[in-house]
Amino acid sequence: MSRNAYVTDLKSLQGECTANYIRLVKLLGDIEAGERREVELVNGGRRLGALCLELRERAPYTSIIHVSQQGVLDELIETPRMRVHLYHDVRMAEVTDFQRQRHFHGRYRYPNTRMHQPDEKLQLNRFLGEWLEHGLAHGHSLDLPQLP
Protein backbone atom coordinates (compact mmCIF):
# COMPACT_ATOMS: atom_id res chain seq x y z
CA MET A 1 0.00 0.00 0.00
CA SER A 2 1.57 3.30 -1.03
CA ARG A 3 1.22 6.37 1.17
CA ASN A 4 1.08 9.89 -0.15
CA ALA A 5 3.70 12.21 1.27
CA TYR A 6 2.38 15.12 3.33
CA VAL A 7 2.54 18.40 1.43
CA THR A 8 2.82 21.58 3.47
CA ASP A 9 -0.30 23.73 3.21
CA LEU A 10 1.41 27.13 2.90
CA LYS A 11 -1.84 28.99 2.34
CA SER A 12 -3.28 27.75 5.65
CA LEU A 13 -0.02 28.36 7.50
CA GLN A 14 0.29 31.92 6.19
CA GLY A 15 -3.37 32.61 6.96
CA GLU A 16 -2.95 31.39 10.53
CA CYS A 17 0.24 33.44 10.99
CA THR A 18 -1.50 36.57 9.67
CA ALA A 19 -4.51 36.08 11.97
CA ASN A 20 -2.18 35.51 14.94
CA TYR A 21 -0.33 38.73 14.18
CA ILE A 22 -3.62 40.66 14.34
CA ARG A 23 -4.62 38.90 17.58
CA LEU A 24 -1.27 39.62 19.23
CA VAL A 25 -1.28 43.28 18.21
CA LYS A 26 -4.74 43.67 19.81
CA LEU A 27 -3.67 41.95 23.01
CA LEU A 28 -0.29 43.65 23.34
CA GLY A 29 -1.42 47.20 22.74
CA ASP A 30 1.45 49.66 23.08
CA ILE A 31 3.71 47.92 25.59
CA GLU A 32 7.46 48.39 25.37
CA ALA A 33 10.26 45.84 25.24
CA GLY A 34 10.71 44.21 28.65
CA GLU A 35 7.10 44.84 29.68
CA ARG A 36 4.54 42.16 30.37
CA ARG A 37 0.79 42.07 29.88
CA GLU A 38 -1.43 39.63 31.77
CA VAL A 39 -4.90 38.92 30.47
CA GLU A 40 -7.00 37.38 33.22
CA LEU A 41 -9.10 34.49 31.92
CA VAL A 42 -12.55 34.36 33.52
CA ASN A 43 -15.47 32.02 32.92
CA GLY A 44 -18.76 32.43 34.75
CA GLY A 45 -17.16 34.76 37.27
CA ARG A 46 -14.44 32.22 38.12
CA ARG A 47 -10.79 33.09 37.52
CA LEU A 48 -9.20 30.32 35.46
CA GLY A 49 -5.74 31.81 35.15
CA ALA A 50 -3.96 34.38 33.06
CA LEU A 51 -2.57 34.56 29.55
CA CYS A 52 0.86 36.17 29.93
CA LEU A 53 2.47 38.09 27.08
CA GLU A 54 5.97 39.46 27.49
CA LEU A 55 7.57 41.59 24.81
CA ARG A 56 11.19 40.41 24.91
CA GLU A 57 12.55 42.39 21.96
CA ARG A 58 11.22 45.02 19.59
CA ALA A 59 12.93 46.08 16.39
CA PRO A 60 11.58 47.91 13.33
CA TYR A 61 10.81 44.72 11.41
CA THR A 62 10.52 42.03 14.10
CA SER A 63 9.49 41.54 17.70
CA ILE A 64 9.85 38.55 19.98
CA ILE A 65 7.02 37.68 22.34
CA HIS A 66 7.04 35.10 25.13
CA VAL A 67 3.55 33.63 25.58
CA SER A 68 2.67 31.56 28.64
CA GLN A 69 -0.20 30.82 30.93
CA GLN A 70 -0.58 30.88 34.69
CA GLY A 71 -3.39 29.00 36.31
CA VAL A 72 -4.76 26.80 39.02
CA LEU A 73 -2.96 23.69 37.75
CA ASP A 74 0.55 25.21 37.61
CA GLU A 75 1.90 22.93 40.36
CA LEU A 76 0.49 19.78 38.75
CA ILE A 77 1.27 20.12 35.06
CA GLU A 78 3.73 21.93 32.83
CA THR A 79 1.82 24.89 31.47
CA PRO A 80 2.20 25.78 27.80
CA ARG A 81 4.74 28.39 26.82
CA MET A 82 6.08 29.50 23.51
CA ARG A 83 8.19 32.11 21.80
CA VAL A 84 6.59 33.90 18.90
CA HIS A 85 8.29 36.09 16.31
CA LEU A 86 6.22 38.94 14.92
CA TYR A 87 7.28 40.01 11.44
CA HIS A 88 5.94 43.56 11.11
CA ASP A 89 6.79 44.04 7.44
CA VAL A 90 4.59 41.10 6.34
CA ARG A 91 2.22 41.26 9.36
CA MET A 92 2.71 37.66 10.40
CA ALA A 93 3.41 35.94 13.73
CA GLU A 94 5.12 32.54 13.86
CA VAL A 95 5.72 30.13 16.73
CA THR A 96 9.47 29.54 16.85
CA ASP A 97 9.79 27.76 20.21
CA PHE A 98 7.29 25.57 22.06
CA GLN A 99 8.05 23.92 25.42
CA ARG A 100 11.79 24.48 24.85
CA GLN A 101 11.79 22.90 21.39
CA ARG A 102 12.97 25.12 18.56
CA HIS A 103 13.04 25.33 14.80
CA PHE A 104 10.03 23.43 13.58
CA HIS A 105 10.03 22.18 10.01
CA GLY A 106 7.15 22.67 7.61
CA ARG A 107 6.66 18.91 7.46
CA TYR A 108 7.93 15.81 9.19
CA ARG A 109 8.15 12.21 8.12
CA TYR A 110 5.90 10.15 10.32
CA PRO A 111 6.64 8.36 12.55
CA ASN A 112 9.73 10.15 13.80
CA THR A 113 11.82 10.03 16.98
CA ARG A 114 10.17 13.10 18.54
CA MET A 115 6.70 12.03 17.41
CA HIS A 116 6.03 15.33 15.65
CA GLN A 117 2.92 15.33 13.50
CA PRO A 118 3.52 15.71 9.75
CA ASP A 119 2.06 19.26 9.99
CA GLU A 120 3.50 20.14 13.42
CA LYS A 121 4.31 23.75 12.50
CA LEU A 122 0.76 24.44 11.30
CA GLN A 123 -0.72 22.79 14.39
CA LEU A 124 1.42 24.88 16.76
CA ASN A 125 0.36 28.09 15.04
CA ARG A 126 -3.30 26.99 15.15
CA PHE A 127 -2.93 26.27 18.87
CA LEU A 128 -1.52 29.77 19.38
CA GLY A 129 -4.49 31.18 17.43
CA GLU A 130 -7.02 29.34 19.59
CA TRP A 131 -5.19 30.41 22.75
CA LEU A 132 -5.14 34.07 21.71
CA GLU A 133 -8.73 33.97 20.49
CA HIS A 134 -9.79 32.62 23.88
CA GLY A 135 -7.90 35.47 25.55
CA LEU A 136 -9.65 38.01 23.34
CA ALA A 137 -13.07 36.47 23.96
CA HIS A 138 -12.81 35.74 27.70
CA GLY A 139 -9.93 37.89 28.90
CA HIS A 140 -9.96 40.92 31.16
CA SER A 141 -7.09 43.26 31.86
CA LEU A 142 -7.00 46.38 33.96
CA ASP A 143 -4.34 48.06 31.83
CA LEU A 144 -6.05 47.40 28.49
CA PRO A 145 -8.92 49.34 27.03
CA GLN A 146 -11.96 47.14 26.37
CA LEU A 147 -10.97 43.97 24.48
CA PRO A 148 -12.99 43.60 21.26
In a domain, residue 110? The reply is yes
Does residue 5 lie in a domain region?
A: no
Count of beta carbons in the 10 Å neighbourhood of residue 8 = 14
Residue 146 lies in a domain: no
- Terminal CA-to-CA distance of the chain, rounded, Å? 50
Note whether residue 81 is domain-resident: yes
User: Given this model, what pLDDT does residue 58 score?
Assistant: 95
Task: Tell whether 85 is covered by a domain.
Answer: yes
Give the number of domains in the chain. 1
Reduced 3-state DSSP string for 9-40: CHHHHHHHHHHHHHHHHHHHCCCCCCCEEEEE
Tell me, what's the pLDDT at 48?
A: 78
Q: Domain for residue 25, yes or no?
A: yes
Q: How far apart are CA 32 and CA 138, in angstroms?
A: 24
pTM > 0.75: yes
In a domain, 147, yes or no: no
- The pLDDT, as a whole number, for residue 62 is 97
Look at residue 90 and tell me if it is in a domain.
yes
Q: What average pLDDT does range 76-86 have in this prediction?
A: 83
Query: In angstroms, rounded to a whole number, what is the distance separating the alpha carbons of residues 111 and 115?
Result: 6
pLDDT level of residue 1 (50, 70, 90 thresholds): very low
Structural domain range at position 50: 10-140
Mean pLDDT, range 136-145, rounded to an integer = 67
